[in-house]
Amino acid sequence: MRSINVSIVVLIMAVLTNAFTVEASDTLVLKKQSNGAEQTIRVGKLVKVKLLSGQKIKGELIGISNNFIVVGADTVQYKNVEWITRQTFLRPLGIALATGGTGIFLFGTAGFLSSVGSDDTWAQLGAVIGALIAVTGGIIDLAALPMLMHARKFRLNGERANWQVE
């Protein structure tokens, strides 16, 4: 008799759980209104959300539903989101690399230019080293560009909205 009662309770719990669940997804699909291009943000990724009220929320994307997303401990409806962006370690790394690469490029160029035209062996060596440093800085700058472009804003609402949730 006891196993029947437990089975009935488990059955009722399962029915009630399914009755109140919301259709959820593990990927947020954003579609650009102008050309239909799609971008995705998966559950578990770090995001930054700006609300129409001006409040910004940073955290892990925990849940995605038809009408709202869950970021950290906050539930946010799509109609209240001005923009959403991915937060990765690549953006700060890209900024650091771009800044360092530009500094190295300028330092190397200055070393090269100050050494050109001199007959001194050390000056010629300085010119070669300066040129190598300048090229290295340029390569670092180029490597940083994709990292900086990765964290663009997907505007969902407001006057400059150009993305919609699929």
Is residue 138's pLDDT more than 80? no
Q: Place 55 in a pLDDT band, splitting at 50, 70 and 90.
A: very high
Q: Based on the domain organization, do 39 and 59 belong to the same domain? A: yes
- State the CB neighbour count (10 A cutoff) for residue 132: 13
> Looking at the domain assignment, is residue 6 inside a domain?
no
> Looking at the domain assignment, is residue 139 inside a domain?
yes
The whole domain housing 94 covers 90-148
Task: In whole angstroms, give the CA distance from residue 1 to residue 10.
Answer: 14
> Looking at the domain assignment, is residue 9 inside a domain?
no
Q: What is the pTM of this model?
A: 0.55
Mean pLDDT of 134-141: 76
Q: Based on the domain organization, do 118 and 156 belong to the same domain? A: no
Task: In whole angstroms, give the CA distance from residue 155 to residue 34.
Answer: 13
Contact present, 52 and 121 (Cβ < 8 Å): no
Which has the higher per-residue pLDDT, 101 or 5? Answer: 101
> Looking at the domain assignment, is residue 3 inside a domain?
no
Using DSSP bridges, classify how beta strands 68-71 and 46-51 pair: parallel, antiparallel or unpaired: unpaired
| Domain count for the chain | 2
Q: Based on the domain organization, do 80 and 159 belong to the same domain? A: yes
DSSP code of residue 161: -
Q: Based on the domain organization, do 126 and 99 belong to the same domain? A: yes
Q: Place 20 in a pLDDT band, splitting at 50, 70 and 90.
A: very low
Q: Place 19 in a pLDDT band, splitting at 50, 70 and 90.
A: very low
> Looking at the domain assignment, is residue 11 inside a domain?
no
